[in-house]
């Protein structure tokens, strides 16, 4: 009898109940559709430029290096530690790092940074990395011993993929045989397309890594084939690469100071990638927190560039892909680190470090490359440094001091002054969309 009752319930009563529920849904109140689009929460940080303290952080040689650099290299271990702690407290399921993982590709730095990433993996987060121009076959890989910079082992492409096997390469569903590009699918329906335009094969015989980026014909073809597959299978693709796929201020690719920060042939590539369904790409390299958008025919693409951890404001992004096909971008900052900042709040410490470093660098460029008198360069350096600082933070607005300096340069009328005036203006020119907080509609391309 019990068996008969259960069978009757299953065959007659339950279907009748379901039919009754469906019939009760009027045309005015349709049943809510079942969400089928994938969702994900992604954390992005870039350019950690991690330097293993075991390689030496004291002595004249190290101090000379950091004195001429705008990156907080001595603090990089503490900053990476703080970033990992923050992400462990976040609800991000996926963590993306778009290159320049190390100061200069030191094997010891790679191994130590990979250990940090393993902490995130151990907590259940999936980490995906790609190389930057500093990371592979870098002839500038050194440690510091007193007055000497001593060469240390760097890594090959194969060693990079081995060290970061758990962070994209071993779990890839496709690998490019010609580069360190790959595809992974951390969530059903979501592809992470790591793209590698770095030119580390050209580093041999130089004392420094090649800054610019260029896709080989083989790698470009491989990327487009994967995008065509993703489009056919209705996958949501998040591109990841070190170099910018779009300009982040007007004329960036034409300016000899900034051209290497945008990939070669970016106009054609961005249009092609957008047409193949890539609407979001995460980048780094220029150390600025900036979002650029390009409409290409009926399609569009957003280049979400994230500033460097070791450069103020030490930002990272939390990006949410929602079931209604929107991408919500929020920017956060590293607020404190386990390092002696002399009692200064870390954000203030980092900003002062950047401004002092930029003023020295700008003064050198103005005197050596533009031939300006030192007195004139000293006057322009704070304004120029301020323009870069504003651009690095994103959502920049021109100051009255900058407006006056630009007007003065234009009135001078010579070629160098006009070039500098234009450079300052473009750093403050921030076309839509917003840089730090944004919602992107993946269906229409609209942003708010």
Q: For 11, how many CA atoms within 13 A lie in the half-sphere containing its CB?
A: 6
For the chain, the maximum distance between any two Cα atoms, rounded to a whole number of angstroms, is 103
pLDDT at 99: 98
pLDDT at 68: 85
Examine the pLDDT at 243 and tell me if it is beyond 80.
yes
Examine the pLDDT at 36 and tell me if it is beyond 80.
no
pLDDT in tens, 280-336: 999 999 999 999 999 988 999 999 999 999 999 999 999 999 999 999 999 999 999
DSSP label at residue 97:
E
Distance CA(101)–CA(212), nearest Å, equals 17
Over residues 355-383, mean pLDDT: 88
Of the candidate CATH numbers 3.60.21.10, 3.30.70.240, 3.40.190.10, 3.30.9.10, the domain formed by 40-337 belongs to 3.60.21.10
Which of 208, 15, 209 is CA-nearest to residue 99?
209
Q: Name the residue with higher pLDDT: 316 or 423.
A: 316
pLDDT at 106: 98
pLDDT at 8: 30
Examine the pLDDT at 4 and tell me if it is beyond 90.
no
pLDDT at 257: 85
Neighbours of 415 (CB within 10 A): 9
Over residues 244-268, mean pLDDT: 95
**373, 381 in Cβ contact below 8 A?**
no
**237, 197 in Cβ contact below 8 A?**
no
Q: Which of 22-26, 246-250, 389-393 has the lowest mean pLDDT?
A: 22-26
Distance CA(371)–CA(269), nearest Å, equals 37
pLDDT at 177: 98
Examine the pLDDT at 90 and tell me if it is beyond 90.
yes
> What SS3 class is residue 327?
strand
Residue 282 to residues 82, 96, 234, 306, 318: CA-CA distances in angstroms? 21, 8, 20, 7, 12
Burial class (CB in 10 A: 0-12, 13-18, 19+), 376: middle
Q: For 133, how many CA atoms within 13 A lie in the half-sphere containing its CB?
A: 23
Distance CA(207)–CA(366), nearest Å, equals 24
DSSP label at residue 271:
H
pLDDT at 429: 86
- Give 17's pLDDT tier (boundaries 50, 70, 90): very low
Distance CA(14)–CA(77), nearest Å, equals 61
Pair type for strands 236-240 and 190-194: parallel
Examine the pLDDT at 29 and tell me if it is beyond 60.
no
Over residues 8-33, mean pLDDT: 35
- Give 10's pLDDT tier (boundaries 50, 70, 90): very low
In the chain, domain spans? 1-32, 40-337, 348-428
Rounded to the nearest integer, the mean pLDDT of the chain is 91
Which residues partner with 78 through β-bridges?
none
Examine the pLDDT at 32 and tell me if it is beyond 70.
no
Residue 221 to residues 133, 245, 281, 300, 383: CA-CA distances in angstroms? 21, 16, 18, 20, 44
pLDDT in tens, 38-67: 999 999 999 999 999 999 998 999 999 998
**305, 283 in Cβ contact below 8 A?**
yes
CA 302-325-263 angle, to 5 degrees, is: 20
Distance CA(313)–CA(333), nearest Å, equals 6
**301, 281 in Cβ contact below 8 A?**
yes
Contacts of 147 (CB under 8 A, 6+ apart): 59, 60, 61
Distance CA(180)–CA(142), nearest Å, equals 23
Examine the pLDDT at 11 and tell me if it is beyond 80.
no
Over residues 216-242, mean pLDDT: 98
pLDDT in tens, 192-208: 999 999 999 999 999 99
Neighbours of 90 (CB within 10 A): 14
Examine the pLDDT at 159 and tell me if it is beyond 70.
yes
Which residues partner with 329 through β-bridges?
319, 438
- Give 15's pLDDT tier (boundaries 50, 70, 90): very low
Burial class (CB in 10 A: 0-12, 13-18, 19+), 144: buried
Examine the pLDDT at 34 and tell me if it is beyond 90.
no
Burial class (CB in 10 A: 0-12, 13-18, 19+), 214: middle
pLDDT in tens, 101-123: 999 999 999 999 999 999 999 99
**137, 158 in Cβ contact below 8 A?**
no
Task: State percent of the chain over pLDDT 70.
Answer: 92
């Amino acid at each position: 009898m019990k068996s008969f009752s259960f069978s009757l319930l299953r065959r007659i009563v339950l279907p009748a109940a379901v039919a009754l529920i469906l019939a009760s849904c009027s045309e005015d109140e349709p049943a809510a559709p079942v969400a089928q689009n994938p969702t994900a929460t992604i954390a992005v940080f870039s350019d950690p430029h991690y330097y293993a303290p075991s390689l030496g952080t004291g002595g004249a040689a190290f101090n000379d290096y950091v004195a001429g650099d705008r990156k907080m290299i001595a603090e990089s271990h503490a900053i990476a530690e703080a970033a990992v702690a923050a992400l462990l407290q976040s609800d991000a399921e996926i963590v993306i790092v778009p290159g320049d993982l190390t100061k200069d590709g030191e094997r010891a730095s790679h191994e130590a940074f990979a250990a940090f990433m393993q902490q995130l993996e151990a907590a259940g987060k999936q980490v995906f990395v790609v190389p930057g121009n500093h990371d592979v076959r870098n002839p500038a890989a050194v440690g510091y011993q007193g007055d000497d910079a001593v060469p240390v082992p760097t890594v090959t492409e194969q060693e990079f993929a081995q060290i970061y096997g758990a962070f994209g390469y071993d779990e890839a569903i496709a690998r490019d045989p010609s580069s360190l590009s790959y595809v992974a699918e951390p969530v059903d329906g979501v592809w992470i397309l790591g793209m590698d335009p770095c030119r580390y094969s050209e580093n041999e015989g130089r004392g420094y890594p090649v800054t610019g980026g260029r896709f080989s014909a083989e790698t470009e073809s491989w990327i487009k084939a994967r995008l065509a597959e993703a489009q056919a299978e209705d996958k949501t693709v998040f591109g990841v690469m070190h170099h910018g796929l779009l300009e982040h201020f007007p004329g960036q690719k034409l300016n000899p100071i900034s051209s290497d920060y945008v990939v070669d042939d970016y106009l054609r590539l961005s249009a092609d990638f957008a047409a193949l369904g890539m609407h979001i790409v995460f980048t780094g390299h220029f150390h600025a927190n900036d979002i650029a958008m390009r409409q290409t025919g009926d399609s569009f693409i957003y280049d979400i560039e994230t500033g460097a951890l070791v450069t103020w404001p030490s930002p990272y992004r939390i990006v949410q892909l929602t079931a209604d096909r929107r991408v919500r971008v929020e920017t956060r900052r590293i607020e404190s680190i386990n390092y002696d900042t002399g009692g200064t709040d870390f954000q203030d410490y980092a900003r002062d470090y950047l401004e002092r470093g930029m003023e020295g660098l700008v003064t050198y460029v103005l005197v050596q490359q533009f031939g300006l008198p030192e007195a004139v360069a000293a006057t322009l350096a704070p304004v120029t440094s301020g323009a870069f600082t504003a651009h690095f933070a994103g959502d920049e607005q021109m100051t009255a001091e900058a407006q006056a300096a630009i007007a003065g340069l234009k009135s001078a009328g010579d070629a160098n002054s006009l070039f500098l005036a234009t450079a300052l203006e473009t750093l403050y020119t921030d076309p839509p969309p917003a840089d730090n907080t944004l919602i992107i509609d993946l269906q229409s391309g609209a942003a708010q």
